[in-house]
C-alpha cells in the first residue's frame, strides 16, 4: 500500500470547513477559502514572535505545515486565530467552591467560556453532601448533583462559539457521600444532558475492590467519615450504568497526581469534557495533532515505512506552534490568562494512526501494532522535550516550574485529544482510534447514493484480486467490517480492522501503550460489542488501572439506543417488529401502558404510551406537571398523536412529525422533541421497531447521519441519506 502523496481538500472536508470554520459576512455568506483560512491562522500564531525575520519565517512554515494537513490545531484555533474573539483553547477546568458566591462565580465564568467556543470540566467534590448542615443559614445542603443542574441549565442557554452548546465534564470523588446519586444521575437521559460524567477513583478504593471490603465516605467540608460502602457494590454499579449507556467513565485521580509537575500549586481534581486532559484550576488545553498517515513514505525496496525525519520536523514545528498559541490566546477572564501563562501547558497529539497501520500492513489488535504505537509516541516524546528544552534556554522555563524534571518551556507537552472534525478536514482516522468503518456513502449527480470504500482498502482488494461489485454491500451488512467475509483473505481481514472487530482488552492495551509516553492522557473509547457483559466492562476497568491509564471510557454498541430517534430505514434487527397497520385501533382496546418522565422547554411532563393486545401502540397521553407553561399544547400533542395512531399511521411517522415541528420551531429542548425521545425510550425498552425498520439509535442531531462514540465523544460519521459527515461532534 502506498501513502498519500498529494494534498487535496476532499468535498466532504470542504463542506465541514464551509459550515463551521471559514469566515462569513453578516449575511452568512462564506468569505474565506481554505487557503486564506490557513494563512490567517499561520500569521496570527507567528505574530507573537518579536523578531520580524523569525516571524515571517515561522508564518510561512506554519502555513505549509497546516495547509498540507501534516498537522492541524484544535477547532477554536482554526476558528478564532486572527479574528477579534481570539480564544484559541479547546477546554478548561474551573474550580467549584463550597459556597454560593464561589459556585455562581464559576457559573458565570462557564458561560463566558462557552460563548467563546470552549468546553469546561468541573469537580463537584468540594461541595458538601446532601443534607449536611450549612452553618451560615442553619439549613441543609442540596448536594453536588443538584448544583450540576444549575450548570446544565446555564449551558443550555448559551451556544458555544455561536454554533453549538458547550460541553461539560462533571466529576465526583468515589469517597464523596453523594457518590451513588452521582453515579445514577444520567440514568434518566433527560437530565444533565449537557454533561459527561466520570467518577474520580482513588487507589484506596481500587484496593478495597480487590480485597472485597468496605471503604469510607468522607464529608468534604470537614473531613469527617459519614459512613461506609461496599467497594465491590459501587464498582458493580458504575460498571452496570456504563454498560447501560456509556456513563460514568472513570478518572484515576491518584494515578494522575503522581505525574503532577506543580504539586505545590494544586492537586488535579478534574478533566476536560472528553477525559484526556487532566487540568489544574483555570488551566486550558492548547491542542494540535500530527497526521501520521502523511508521515509514511516508500523506501528503496518499495515498502511503506515511517518517515522519521519528517516526523521529527513535524514535532519541532508542532511544539513551536502550540507554544506560540499560549501567547496568542485571548482568554475571557483574568485567572485563565494568569494560570495558562504560568504553566504554559500544550497538548501535541496525533491522528491517522489507524490509517498508518493499514499502510504498514499491521493489524491494530496485534503485538506489532502495540510496538508501533510505543515507538512512535516514544519518538514524539523525545523530540518534543528537545524542542521545549531549547525554547526554555532562550525564553526561560514555564514560570510555575518547581524543579521537578528538566527545566522545559512547557509544563506538559503531549496528549491524544479527540480530533473531532479536524480528522475529517484531514481526511484521516481519529486520534489513536481504529477506523469506525471501511465504507461510507457518497452522493452522485443523479441524486442516488452509492457506497464507497476506504481508498486504500479498495486499492488492495483490486490489486490482490478479491474485489467485486458485491463486496461493498457485504461490508455494509457486516457492520462496516471485512472481518469474517470469506472472500477477503485473512491477512487483509486482520489489517483492515474496525472498532467493533477489536476485543476490549486490545482497545485498553493500545490506550496504555500510548499512555506510557504521554505526560497528559489519552482520549480513547473502549468499544464493546452489543453482546458484552457487565463483567467485560469491569475487566476493562481493572486492566486500564493495572496498565497505568489515567482514565477510561467504555461504550457498548447500541447501549444508547433510547437517546435519539433515527428515522432512516435500517437493516439492523434491533428487536421485534411492530404488528401491521391498517384499521383503526380504538383506545378501548388498550391492554397495557408504559410511562416515562420528560423535561421539555415548558416544564416537566409524563408521557404514557399504551399498547393493544397485539402490542400495537394506539394511544399517547401527555400529562403535564401543574406548573407546565404550555399545558394545553402538551396535551394536544398526545391527542393528535393518538388520533394518528388509531387511523393507522406508523409510530415512526408520528414521532417524525414531532421531531420536524421541533426543528422548525427551534432546537431549544422543546416539548415535541422531548415527547419523541420518550416514545423512543419506551419502544427501545419494549424491544420494538417500526414497520419500515425504524431503529431507536443514536443519530446526528444536525443531519440525522450515523453517530459513532469515539475518543470519549459522539461524532457524526455521515449516512446514505446525507452523503458523508456534516462535521458535527459533541466535543
Contacts of 621 (CB under 8 A, 6+ apart): 593, 606, 607, 608, 610, 638, 642
Q: Please count the other Cβ atoms lying within 10 Å of the Cβ belonging to residue 6.
A: 5
According to DSSP, the residues that pair with 592 across neighbouring strands are: 611
* C-alpha separations of 495 from 74, 116, 355, 478, 522 in Å: 29, 41, 10, 16, 23
What is the Rg, in whole angstroms, of the alpha carbon atoms belonging to the chain? 26
* C-alpha separations of 662 from 46, 506, 601, 643 in Å: 45, 42, 11, 20
Q: Is 274 a catalytic residue?
A: yes
Annotated catalytic residue, options 74, 272, 291, 410: 272
CB 133 within 8 A of CB 143: no
Q: How far is residue 573's CA from residue 468's CA, in Å, rounded to a whole number?
A: 26
Q: How far is residue 152's CA from residue 33's CA, in Å, rounded to a whole number?
A: 36
Q: Of 72, 701, 702, which Cα lies nearest the Cα of 428? A: 72
CB 285 within 8 A of CB 347: yes
CB 46 within 8 A of CB 59: yes
Supply the DSSP string of 530-543, one letter for each residue.
TT--HHHHHHHHHH
Annotated catalytic residue, options 276, 283, 385, 652: 276
Cell matching residue 220 = 468534604
Phi-psi region of 143 (alpha: psi -120 to 50; beta: other; left: phi over 0): left
Q: How far is residue 481's CA from residue 484's CA, in Å, rounded to a whole number?
A: 8
Coil vs helix vs strand at 562: coil
Q: At what angle do helices 534-546 and 504-515 cross, to 10 degrees?
A: 20
Instruction: Please name the residue that has the C-alpha cell 482497545.
Output: 507
Q: Where are the beta strands (DSSP E) in 174-286?
A: 195-201, 214-218, 225-230, 249-252, 270-271, 278-279
Q: Please count the other Cβ atoms lying within 10 Å of the Cβ belonging to residue 547.
A: 15
Q: Is 443 a catalytic residue?
A: no
Coil vs helix vs strand at 121: strand
Q: How far is residue 667's CA from residue 657's CA, in Å, rounded to a whole number?
A: 14
Q: Is 276 a catalytic residue?
A: yes
**Cα angle value 722/728/731 (rounded, 5°):** 160
Q: How far is residue 99's CA from residue 93's CA, in Å, rounded to a whole number?
A: 18
Q: Name the DSSP class of 73.
A: E
| Torsion sign (Cα): 70, 430, 168, 235 | negative
Residue 469 CB burial class (10 angstroms; 0-12, 13-18, ≥19): exposed
Q: How far is residue 716's CA from residue 704's CA, in Å, rounded to a whole number?
A: 9
Annotated catalytic residue, options 91, 274, 726, 731: 274
Catalytic residue list:
272, 274, 276
Amino acid at each position: 500500500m502506498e501513502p498519500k502523496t498529494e494534498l487535496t481538500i476532499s468535498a466532504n472536508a470542504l463542506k465541514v470547513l464551509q459550515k463551521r470554520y471559514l469566515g462569513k459576512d453578516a449575511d452568512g455568506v462564506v468569505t474565506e477559502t481554505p487557503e486564506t483560512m490557513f494563512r490567517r491562522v499561520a500569521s496570527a500564531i507567528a505574530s507573537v514572535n518579536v523578531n520580524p525575520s523569525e516571524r515571517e519565517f515561522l508564518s510561512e512554515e506554519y502555513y505549509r505545515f497546516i495547509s498540507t494537513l501534516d498537522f492541524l490545531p484544535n477547532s477554536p484555533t482554526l476558528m478564532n486565530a486572527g479574528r477579534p474573539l481570539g480564544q484559541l483553547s479547546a477546554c478548561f477546568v474551573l474550580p467549584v467552591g463550597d459556597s454560593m458566591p464561589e459556585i455562581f462565580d464559576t457559573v458565570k465564568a462557564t458561560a463566558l467560556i462557552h460563548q467563546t467556543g470552549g468546553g469546561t470540566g468541573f469537580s463537584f467534590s468540594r461541595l458538601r453532601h446532601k443534607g449536611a448542615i450549612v452553618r451560615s443559614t442553619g439549613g441543609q445542603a442540596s448536594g453536588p448533583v443538584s448544583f450540576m443542574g444549575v450548570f446544565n441549565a446555564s449551558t443550555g442557554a448559551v451556544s458555544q462559539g455561536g454554533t453549538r452548546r458547550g460541553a461539560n465534564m462533571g466529576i465526583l470523588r468515589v469517597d464523596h457521600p453523594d457518590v451513588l446519586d452521582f453515579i445514577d444521575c444520567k440514568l434518566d437521559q433527560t437530565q444533565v444532558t449537557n454533561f459527561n460524567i466520570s467518577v474520580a477513583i482513588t487507589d484506596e478504593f481500587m484496593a478495597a475492590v480487590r480485597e472485597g471490603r468496605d471503604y469510607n465516605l468522607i464529608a468534604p467540608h470537614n473531613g469527617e467519615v459519614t459512613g461506609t460502602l461496599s467497594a465491590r457494590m459501587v464498582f458493580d454499579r458504575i460498571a452496570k450504568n456504563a454498560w447501560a449507556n456509556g456513563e460514568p467513565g472513570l478518572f484515576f485521580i491518584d494515578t494522575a497526581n503522581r505525574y503532577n509537575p506543580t504539586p505545590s500549586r494544586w492537586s488535579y481534581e478534574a478533566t476536560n469534557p472528553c477525559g484526556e486532559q487532566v487540568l489544574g484550576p483555570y488551566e486550558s488545553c492548547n491542542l494540535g495533532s500530527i497526521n501520521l498517515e502523511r508521515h509514511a513514505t516508500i523506501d528503496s525496496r518499495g515498502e511503506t515505512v515511517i518517515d522519521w525525519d519528517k516526523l521529527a520536523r513535524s514535532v519541532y514545528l508542532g511544539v513551536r506552534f502550540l507554544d506560540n498559541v499560549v501567547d496568542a490566546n485571548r482568554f475571557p477572564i483574568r485567572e485563565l490568562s494568569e494560570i495558562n501563562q504560568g504553566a504554559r501547558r500544550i497538548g501535541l497529539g496525533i491522528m491517522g494512526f489507524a490509517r498508518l497501520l493499514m499502510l504498514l500492513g499491521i493489524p491494530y489488535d496485534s503485538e506489532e501494532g502495540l510496538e508501533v504505537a510505543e515507538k512512535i509516541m516514544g519518538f514524539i516524546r523525545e523530540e518534543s522535550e528537545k524542542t521545549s528544552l531549547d525554547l526554555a534556554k532562550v525564553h526561560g522555563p514555564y514560570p510555575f516550574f518547581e524543579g521537578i524534571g528538566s527545566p522545559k518551556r512547557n509544563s506538559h507537552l503531549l496528549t491524544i485529544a479527540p480530533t473531532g472534525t479536524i480528522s475529517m478536514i484531514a481526511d484521516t482516522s481519529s486520534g489513536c482510534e481504529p477506523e469506525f468503518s471501511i465504507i461510507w456513502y457518497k452522493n452522485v449527480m443523479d441524486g442516488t447514493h452509492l457506497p464507497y470504500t476506504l481508498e486504500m482498502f479498495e486499492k488492495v482488494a483490486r490489486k490482490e484480486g478479491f474485489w467485486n461489485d458485491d463486496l461493498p454491500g457485504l461490508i455494509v451488512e457486516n457492520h462496516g467490517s471485512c472481518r469474517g467475509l470469506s472472500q477477503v483473505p485473512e491477512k487483509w481481514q486482520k489489517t483492515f480492522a474496525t472498532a467493533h472487530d477489536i476485543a476490549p482488552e486490545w482497545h485498553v492495551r493500545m490506550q496504555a501503550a500510548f499512555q506510557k509516553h504521554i505526560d497528559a492522557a489519552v482520549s480513547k473509547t473502549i468499544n464493546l460489542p452489543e453482546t458484552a457483559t457487565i463483567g467485560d466492562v469491569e475487566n476493562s476497568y481493572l486492566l486500564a488501572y493495572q496498565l497505568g491509564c489515567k482514565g477510561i471510557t467504555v461504550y457498548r454498541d447500541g447501549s444508547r439506543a433510547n437517546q435519539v430517534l433515527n428515522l432512516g430505514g435500517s437493516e439492523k434487527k434491533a428487536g421485534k417488529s411492530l404488528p401491521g397497520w391498517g384499521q383503526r385501533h380504538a383506545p378501548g382496546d388498550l391492554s397495557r401502558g408504559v410511562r416515562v418522565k420528560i423535561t421539555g422547554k415548558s416544564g416537566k411532563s409524563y408521557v404514557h404510551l399504551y399498547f393493544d393486545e397485539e402490542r400495537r401502540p394506539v394511544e399517547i397521553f401527555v400529562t403535564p406537571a401543574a406548573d407546565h407553561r404550555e399545558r394545553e399544547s402538551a396535551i394536544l400533542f398526545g391527542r393528535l398523536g393518538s388520533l394518528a395512531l388509531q387511523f393507522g399511521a406508523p409510530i415512526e411517522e408520528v414521532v417524525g412529525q414531532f421531531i420536524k415541528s421541533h426543528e422548525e420551531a427551534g432546537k431549544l429542548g422543546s416539548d415535541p422533541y422531548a415527547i419523541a425521545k420518550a416514545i423512543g425510550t419506551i419502544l427501545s425498552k419494549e424491544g420494538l421497531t417500526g414497520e419500515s425498520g425504524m431503529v431507536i439509535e443514536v443519530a446526528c442531531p444536525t443531519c440525522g447521519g450515523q453517530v459513532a462514540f469515539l475518543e470519549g465523544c459522539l461524532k457524526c460519521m455521515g449516512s446514505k441519506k446525507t452523503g458523508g459527515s456534516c462535521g458535527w461532534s459533541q466535543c
